[in-house]
Amino acid sequence: MVAAMDNRNPDVDAWLDNYENPQRNLVADIRAFILSLDPGISEAIKWQAPTFMYRGNIASFFPKARKNVTLMFHQGASIEDSTGLLEGDGEVSRVARFLDAQDFEAKKAALEAVIRNWITSKA
């Protein structure tokens, strides 16, 4: 069950209302899920895309992706991820990709684990 999103930002609502992309509904679902994980998670438009924050930037949507939803984790290399959700081998960032609603459902627990590991590391 997804909690009410008291941490929702009206600027992100407006961005999403104007987002013309076949993945729009999936972006909205992932947004709602991330915001439901902790009341301390906030969001804003940064780099022309919705960005999630908790004592620093967690991740931003990559808005130009049309075949999947891509979340770029700004400091992804420093987040403990035993699930294999985060992809990449750069020194700093990692990405998570969601192909469709079914793929998101399959990866939801992994996404939650990654976000909670970020929160724990910032406590």
CATH number at residue 25: 3.90.1150.200
Q: What is the pLDDT along the chain (123 residues), one digit of tens a residue?
A: 444 558 899 999 999 999 999 999 999 999 999 999 999 999 999 999 999 999 999 999 999 999 999 999 999 999 999 999 999 998 999 999 999 999 999 999 999 999 999 999 998
Residue 31 CB-density burial (10 A; 0-12 exposed, 13-18 middle, 19+ buried): buried
4 in a structural domain: no
- In angstroms, how far is the first alpha carbon of the chain from the final one? 25
Question: Which structural domain, as residue segments, surrounds residue 116?
Answer: 10-122
5 in a structural domain: no
Distance CA 37, CA 33 (A): 7
Helix axes 10-17, 24-36, angle to 10 degrees: 160
Q: How many domains does the chain have?
A: 1
